[in-house]
């Protein structure tokens, strides 16, 4: 009897079609009926597809948003961009184009007077690449046991030879991070694991960041089959 890939829907359909009584085996209507019954019984392999859909390394868009609810991160956690809403000007001219004009000039200088809207200005949403990076860091925070050895083992596992951390023995840590991280240092400092009450300093090195995935690659095929996500 031939072997079938029983880990795929197509393989299981072939397997059960081959179990039809010999007088029906290979007949189009009998085979089609068996195919329908198998697909319905297995719900079109939906359970297996769900496992793939929510694989952190291949998830994107809404998939990442759903995973984030369980991990405990909001996509709108990025630091807001600096926005000039209003400004006064001095007599020298030059500067932004909002607010009052200076004497004899149609432009303004950079004395900023923010409106109350600046207080409620929404934070900037992470892109998929940034969000994936943040989610991985948050997973480490969720499992953090408060020890420096955990920090070292985590960084070595997920960012080997790229992000390192030193205990300054004065209630501060110094993390060396490569240039080209998908998030800014101001955001990174909120997601790196550290013991309670310990400060953290970020030192940017000249090397370029490229995250290595579990299969030792640096790119991942996306669900549409036509594009790839680079981890850098």
Residue 71 shares a structural domain with residue 155: yes
Residue 102 shares a structural domain with residue 184: no
Residue 228 covered by a domain? no
| Residue 164 belongs to domain spanning | 62-77+127-208
β-partners of residue 219 are 230
Residue 86 covered by a domain? yes
pLDDT (tens, 9 = 90+) of the chain, 232 residues, equals: 578 777 788 888 889 899 999 899 889 999 999 999 998 888 878 877 777 778 887 888 999 999 999 999 988 877 655 555 555 545 555 554 455 555 555 554 444 554 444 445 556 788 999 999 899 889 988 989 989 999 989 888 878 878 889 999 999 999 999 888 888 888 888 888 888 889 999 988 876 655 555 555 555 555 555 444 444 4
Edge to edge, the sheet with strand 164-167 lists 164-167, 172-179, 199-208
How far apart (Å, rounded) are the C-alpha atoms in residues 99 and 113?
Answer: 9
Q: Tell me how many domains the chain contains.
A: 3
């Amino acid at each position: 009897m031939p072997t079938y890939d029983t880990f795929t829907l197509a393989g299981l359909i072939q397997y059960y079609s081959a179990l039809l009584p010999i007088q029906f085996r290979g007949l189009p209507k009998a085979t089609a009926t068996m195919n329908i019954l198998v697909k319905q019984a297995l719900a079109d392999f939906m359970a297996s597809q769900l496992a793939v859909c929510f694989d952190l390394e291949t998830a994107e868009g809404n998939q990442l948003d759903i995973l984030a609810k369980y991990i405990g991160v909001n996509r709108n956690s990025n630091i807001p961009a600096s926005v000039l809403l209003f400004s006064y000007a001095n007599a020298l001219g030059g500067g932004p184009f909002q607010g009052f004009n200076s004497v004899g000039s149609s432009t303004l200088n950079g004395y900023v007077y923010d409106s109350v809207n600046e207080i409620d200005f929404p934070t900037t949403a992470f892109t998929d690449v940034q969000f994936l990076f943040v989610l991985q860091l948050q997973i480490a925070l969720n499992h953090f046991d408060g020890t420096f050895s955990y920090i070292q083992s985590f960084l070595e596992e997920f960012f080997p030879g790229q992000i390192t951390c030193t205990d300054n023995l004065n209630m501060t840590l110094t993390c060396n991070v490569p240039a080209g991280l998908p998030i800014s240092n101001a955001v990174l400092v909120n997601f790196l694991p550290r013991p309670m009450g310990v400060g953290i300093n970020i030192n940017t090195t000249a090397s370029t960041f490229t995250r290595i995935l579990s299969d030792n690659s640096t790119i991942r095929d996306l669900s549409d089959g036509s594009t790839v996500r680079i981890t850098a």
